[in-house]
Amino acid sequence: MNINKEKLIELLNLDLTLEYSAAIQYIQHAAVMTGAQFGDIIKELRIHANEEIAHAITLADQISFLGGVPTIEVGEIKISDDNIVMLKQDLEGEEDAIKRYKVRIE
């Protein structure tokens, strides 16, 4: 991907909004997920929430380094009252992030 610095900052800020929303979504999903069989998954969601915050910090630092201002906007947060739907939402978010980051490094 051959882009200028301003466009890269714009794209990284988009990524940052989605890292914020992923962290919030994981926290919310972990809090409302029910059932003993989901205990380990709930623990993992909390770990992933912290990882998303770490990703957001890295992105914010990179945006600032490039001369941009890290956004405070939050992307879409998907919620559900169905445990399986929540997990599918989380998986879709991770798959989307992988696609976006692959494009960024090309």
> Which residue ranges form the domains of the chain, and what is each CATH number?
5-93 (1.20.1260.10)
Q: Name the average pLDDT for the chain.
A: 96
Cα separations in angstroms, 1 against 58, 66, 88, 100, 101: 21, 17, 29, 11, 11
State the Cα–Cα distance between residues 87 and 79, nearest whole angstrom.
Answer: 10
Q: What is the pLDDT of residues 35-81, one digit of tens each?
A: 999 999 999 999 999 999 999 999 999 999 999 999 999 999 999 99
